[in-house]
Chain A
Amino acid sequence: MKAFERIAAVPKANALILPAAAIVALVTQVPLVVTLVLSVVKWIVVRPDLGINFIGLSNYFQIFTSREFYSVVLNTIALTFVSIACCTILGIAFAHMLNRRFPGVNLARTIMIAPFFVMDAVAGIVWKTLMLHPSFGINGLVASWLGVAPVDFLGQHPLLTVVMLVVWQWTPFFVLILLAGFESISEELLDSARVDGASAFRTLFQIKIPAIAAHIEVAVMLGLIFILKTFGVIYVTTAGGPGISSTNLPYIVYRTGFYRWDVGRAAAMAIVTVILTLVTITALFGFVRRKTREAEA
């Protein structure tokens, strides 16, 4: 009876939220529940004769006892954190350079952010064939001019090359956010620093960067969310290889689901990936928030 009274006490206008809540639940929670259900079955698509069987937590057990999985987790961590570190440093450097008035500044800013608007797959194919290919790309051309053997970027340094492409693509995003931060610093603050005789170097590190700490936080958080799920660049350049040397968590889920056609294992990997991603984001968010407060204090 009390519960009924509580429901009756809720303003009727709140019911208007129900359609939106239902749509959000449908597009976010239903796929999650379906993936959870699939993660406890054995279902090989190319073997319909074996059927779909409930196997409990076996898929999870196999994932956590596989060395391949831990290598992939390490690849994901390396790819994500090295990319974010590079994007942040380059983002601060470029944003600082572009935060001044000079002839053609708008053109320079437009050119700077252009890579961010190129689709993953297109960027990957262009880099793979026209730039890095040892026989057909600029790589081969430069090597022949210099009289040396071309570097096999995708074969010898696959993860590093993927990091390079991710940094090329995502640095402009960091620049956009950090440039807004630099532009928001009050002139009075900078004038005070100049009057006090602070060098340009000291002004940057002790005035400007602490002043844009909140912008850095936003750029890092959004960058983390997007770079953790890098897929297109890997798919078209290295296909996760050679071996699993450039395979990250989203790609291993795809490989398990669409090469092995093992739907159950792929679903279990997807669930583990979601959990690891949430834990990482929450931990990093806490860390960045702490550092931001320290900088602001």
Chain B
Amino acid sequence: MAPPRLRSPLSRAIGLGSAKEGVAHWWAQRVTALALVPLTLWLVIAVIELAGADRARLVDWVHHPLPAVLLILLLTATFYHGALGLQVVIEDYVENETLRLGLLIVMRLAAILLAVLGVFAVIKLSLGA
């Protein structure tokens, strides 16, 4: 027997569910997580090799295109994934609607600021400086 249909035909056609945003957040969190598995393991190995390195050695390393590109991907995926996670934490624990909205905005802007700062620093180190 087919399960009873509790949603209206329009709601089913739009397909966004009760949270009005569909599964976009869920998917983005999983895809960034998948990307971060190899990127993180690579970063850990790189950081171990660079432990205590002077600036010249760091610059020398970032001059190579592959580390620079992987670092940019890592920073982007990290702050995207982190913002998605922090969003859920804020939504779960901050009851006051005004405060919640304010925190969500500040958190997202801070994530973008930090991601751009990191990416810019890597590019500057890689191409010059």
A binds B: no
Chain A interface residues (CB < 8 Å from chain B): none
Residues of chain B touching chain A, judged by Cβ–Cβ distance below 8 Å, are none
